[in-house]
């Protein structure tokens, strides 16, 4: 058996060789050089009461943010699973848009909606004649938690919704026939089946909140510092790169543990069988007498709250993009959108606005072109081969999920300043960074489809004389095309919103839309231009997810 396994590994070694070479050049080597610098300082970090408090707060805010995302996302999953309403398919498409938006756009939306002079406070002050803004959540822990929930509740909702729709309804029907109440059926039958995908989604959400940087820095204010904020402070403000590298190494260790747990939970759910029949749904808008029942009123209350929390910041950005500030007050105008079409150099962003838009699209396409083949090869490797330590290998290959984009950008910048591969400050460096960041999502899209594929069909093709490559192309490829479409669209949307690594790598002429928004908000002017550029990113991401829902629904369900 060992000899046979060795021959299989040797045969498929070239398949993993290409993605490993790419990851080695643009992830492991640059990151390793930074982390080696910080290795001697890890003991000092773990022994310092100050840094231990920062680590504890990082875990605390990530845990609270994850629970808030579940509190918002799980009922949304129930709504999408159990009820029908006009535009449901469109809502399912658009609900994932917040997940891929750049953090600076989310921060802008929260400031415009919940700030002291935000739309929510202005409305409440006008309605009730208040002299002071009643909502004061900015620069508090709850601002961080709510922003993270806004980001990640869609991920919880779509993951649980995809799993819930795949459950066989006969178990619930049997329990009801035996006299169990709806609540008892949920707690004893439905929830246990949903726990693996729910815990998997919660783990990845925890990782994202643990690694969050712009949200904490922008909405938390100076009172709050997480590992990521402290890494940035040590590296950029205090110029203490060894200390920053030591903190990055500690954070990476924590994150890799959670990535390993995520892969374990994802693997458990990937082996579950899917139902051939779905549970019946009911209309969300019943006759008015039915609509006034207590549980219906509770449902409508949740719909209003979720719409305010998820759609409110986006609508605030949209409104602000048309609301132009002038010396005489505010007025309706299109100056923000005209600004985007300017070809002239704009000092506020260090580039022309139109060039920033085109750069974002170019980098997104380039990242997809690299991430798709790399992700496909890795997915094929981790699903088709059974080798000792495969879970550890999975975690190693998924390590970009657990790595700070700030550190990745810094590592690439420092690693390739000199020949023979002096790519720092080039478009390829930005594309490579984006590809490293988004390729794990391609893997998690394609791998479940490969796991569920009937291997006997491949064996039959091989028995009839087809080569392994021909068997893949003719037999397996058609089954994973939906996952590849989903992976491509998802990777493009994520690349479009990537901010942190791009800030570290982009020189003048290579600025992207998120970086341009950051530069505009950093100055004294340009709020309407920043809102207009954010609207373009929101619209592009929305279009990507509408296409995803139309062309790749099957692949999305297999993602987690």
Q: Which of 294, 318, 342 is the last residue of a domain?
A: 318
Q: List all residues 6 or more positions away from 286 whose beta carbon is below 8 Å from its beta carbon.
A: 296
Q: List all residues 6 or more positions away from 458 whose beta carbon is below 8 Å from its beta carbon.
A: 471, 472, 475, 476
Check if the beta carbon of residue 179 is closer than 8 Å to that of residue 248. no
Burial 70-100 (b: 16+ CB within 10 A, else e): bebbbbbbbbbbbbeeeeeeeebbbbbbbbb
* Burial degree of 249 (CB within 10 A; 0-12, 13-18, 19+): buried
Q: What is the DSSP string of 322-371?
A: HEEEETTEEEE--HHHHHHT--S-BTTTTB-HHHHHHHHHHHHHHHHHHH
Examine residue 133 and state whether it is found in any structural domain, yes or no: no
Q: What is the pTM for the complete model shown? A: 0.81
* 384 and 265 inside one domain: no
Beta pairing, strands 83-84 & 282-283:
parallel
Q: From CA 398, how far away is CA 421, in angstroms rounded?
A: 25
Examine residue 83 and state whether it is found in any structural domain, yes or no: yes
Q: Give the count of alpha carbons within 13 A of 78, CB side only.
A: 14
Structure tokens at 215: 């949200």
Q: What are the mean pLDDT values of the chain's consecutive 10-residue runs (560 residues total)?
A: 54 69 89 82 87 91 94 90 82 80 85 87 88 86 91 88 81 81 85 85 88 82 80 78 83 78 58 54 65 68 82 89 76 83 79 87 93 88 68 75 80 80 85 92 81 73 73 74 80 86 82 85 69 87 75 45
Examine residue 129 and state whether it is found in any structural domain, yes or no: no
Examine residue 117 and state whether it is found in any structural domain, yes or no: no
The helix (H) or strand (E) run that includes residue 283 is strand 282-283
Check if the beta carbon of residue 505 is closer than 8 Å to that of residue 514. no
Q: What is the DSSP string of 386-401?
A: --TTHHHHHHHHTGGG
Question: Other CB atoms closer than 10 Å to residue 373's CB: what's the count?
Answer: 14
Q: From CA 495, how far away is CA 512, in angstroms rounded?
A: 10
* 199 and 253 inside one domain: yes
Sign of CA dihedral 125, 127, 130, 134: negative
Check if the beta carbon of residue 412 is closer than 8 Å to that of residue 26. yes
pLDDT at 556: 41
* 556 and 502 inside one domain: yes
pLDDT at 1: 45
* 432 and 499 inside one domain: yes
Examine residue 26 and state whether it is found in any structural domain, yes or no: no
Please report where in the chains the tokens 């040797």 appear, as a residue: 10
Beta pairing, strands 323-326 & 329-332:
antiparallel
* 365 and 481 inside one domain: yes
Instruction: Residue 175: give the domain boundaries.
Output: 54-101+145-318
Examine residue 157 and state whether it is found in any structural domain, yes or no: yes
Please report where in the chains the tokens 């479009």 appear, as a residue: 496
Q: From CA 135, how far away is CA 146, in angstroms rounded?
A: 13
Bond from prior residue into 269 cis (ω within 30 degrees of 0): no
* Burial degree of 259 (CB within 10 A; 0-12, 13-18, 19+): buried
**Helix, strand, coil abundance in the chain, percent, nearest 5:** 75, 0, 20
* 270 and 350 inside one domain: no
Structure tokens at 61: 């805010």
* 197 and 339 inside one domain: no
Q: From CA 378, how far away is CA 263, in angstroms rounded?
A: 14
Helix H, strand E, coil C: the string for 461-511 is HHHCCCCHHHHHHHHHHHHHHHHHHHHHHHHHHHHHHCCHHHHHHCCCCCC
Q: From CA 148, how far away is CA 226, in angstroms rounded?
A: 14
Q: From CA 560, how far away is CA 556, in angstroms rounded?
A: 8
Q: Give the count of alpha carbons within 13 A of 551, CB side only.
A: 16
Please report where in the chains the tokens 């505009």 appear, as a residue: 520
Q: List all residues 6 or more positions away from 90 whose beta carbon is below 8 Å from its beta carbon.
A: 546, 549
* 353 and 265 inside one domain: no
Burial 482-505 (b: 16+ CB within 10 A, else e): bbbbbbbbbbbbbbbbbbbbbbbb
509: left (phi over 0), alpha (psi -120 to 50) or beta: left
Question: Other CB atoms closer than 10 Å to residue 311's CB: what's the count?
Answer: 17
The pairs formed by 115-120 with CB atoms below 8 angstroms and a separation of 24 or more are: 118/316, 119/316, 119/319, 120/312
Q: Which of 318, 349, 372 is the last residue of a domain?
A: 318
Q: Residue 376: which CATH number?
A: 1.10.3720.10
* 529 and 406 inside one domain: yes
Which residues partner with 351 through β-bridges? 346
Structure tokens at 397: 């290959």
Examine residue 159 and state whether it is found in any structural domain, yes or no: yes
* 196 and 343 inside one domain: no
pLDDT at 383: 77
* 421 and 386 inside one domain: yes
Examine residue 449 and state whether it is found in any structural domain, yes or no: yes
Total domain count, the chain: 2
Q: From CA 408, how far away is CA 505, in angstroms rounded?
A: 10
pLDDT at 172: 80
pLDDT at 65: 95
Q: From CA 322, how far away is CA 273, in angstroms rounded?
A: 50
Q: Which of 318, 343, 370 is the last residue of a domain?
A: 318
* 257 and 185 inside one domain: yes
Q: What is the DSSP string of 151-213?
A: HHHHHHHHHHHHHHHTS-THHHHHHHHTT--HHHHIIIIIHHHHHHHHHHHHHHHHHHHHT--
């Amino acid at each position: 058996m060992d000899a046979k396994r060795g021959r299989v590994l040797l045969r498929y070694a070239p398949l993993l060789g290409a993605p490993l070479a790419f990851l080695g050049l643009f992830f492991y080597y640059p990151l390793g050089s930074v982390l080696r610098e910080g290795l001697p300082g890890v003991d000092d970090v773990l022994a310092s009461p100050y840094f231990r408090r920062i680590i504890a707060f990082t875990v605390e805010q990530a845990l609270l943010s994850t629970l808030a995302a579940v509190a918002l996302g799980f009922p949304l999953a129930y709504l999408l699973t159990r009820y029908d309403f006009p535009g449901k398919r469109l809502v399912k498409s658009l609900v994932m848009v917040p997940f891929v938006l750049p953090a600076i756009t989310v921060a802008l939306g929260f400031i415009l909606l919940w700030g002291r002079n935000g739309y929510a406070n202005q409305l409440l002050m006008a309605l009730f004649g208040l002299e002071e803004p009643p909502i004061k959540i900015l620069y508090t822990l709850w601002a961080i938690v709510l922003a993270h929930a806004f980001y990640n509740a869609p991920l919880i909702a779509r993951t649980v919704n995809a799993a819930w729709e795949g459950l066989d309804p006969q178990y619930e029907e049997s329990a009801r026939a035996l006299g169990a109440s709806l609540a008892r059926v949920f707690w004893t039958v439905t929830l246990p089946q949903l726990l693996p995908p729910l815990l998997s989604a919660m783990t990845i959400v925890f990782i994202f909140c643990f690694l969050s940087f712009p949200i904490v820095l922008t909405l938390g204010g100076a009172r709050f510092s997480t590992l990521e904020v402290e890494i940035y402070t040590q590296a950029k403000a205090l110029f203490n790169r060894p200390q920053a590298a030591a903190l990055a190494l500690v954070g990476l260790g924590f994150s890799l543990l959670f990535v390993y747990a995520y892969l374990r939970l994802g693997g458990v759910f990937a082996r579950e069988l899917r139902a051939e029949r779905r549970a019946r749904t009911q209309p969300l808008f019943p006759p008015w007498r039915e609509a006034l029942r207590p549980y219906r009123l509770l449902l409508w209350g949740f719909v209003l709250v979720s719409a305010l929390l998820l759609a409110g910041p986006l609508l605030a950005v949209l409104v602000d993009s048309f609301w132009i500030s002038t010396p005489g007050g505010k007025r309706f105008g299109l100056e923000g959108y005209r600004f985007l079409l300017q070809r002239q150099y704009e000092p506020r962003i260090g580039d022309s606005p139109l060039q920033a838009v085109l750069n974002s699209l170019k980098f997104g396409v380039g990242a997809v072109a690299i991430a798709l083949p790399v992700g496909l090869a890795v997915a094929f490797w981790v699903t088709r081969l059974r080798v000792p330590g495969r879970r550890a290998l999975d975690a190693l290959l998924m390590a970009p999920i657990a790595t700070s984009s700030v550190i990745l950008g810094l590592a690439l910048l420092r690693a390739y300043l000199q020949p023979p591969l002096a790519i720092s400050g080039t478009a390829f460096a930005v594309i490579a960074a984006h590809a490293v960041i988004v390729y794990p999502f391609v893997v998690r899209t394609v791998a479940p489809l490969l796991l569920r594929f009937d291997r006997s069909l491949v064996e039959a093709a091989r028995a009839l004389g087809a080569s392994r490559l021909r068997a893949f192309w003719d037999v397996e490829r058609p089954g994973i095309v939906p996952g590849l479409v989903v992976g491509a669209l998802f990777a493009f949307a994520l690349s479009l919103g990537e901010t942190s690594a791009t800030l570290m790598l982009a020189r003048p002429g290579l600025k992207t839309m998120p970086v341009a928004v950051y530069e505009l908000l950093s100055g004294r002017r340009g709020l309407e231009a920043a809102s207009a550029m954010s609207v373009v990113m929101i619209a592009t991401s929305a279009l990507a997810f509408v296409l995803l829902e139309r062309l790749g629904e099957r692949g999305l369900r297999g993602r987690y």
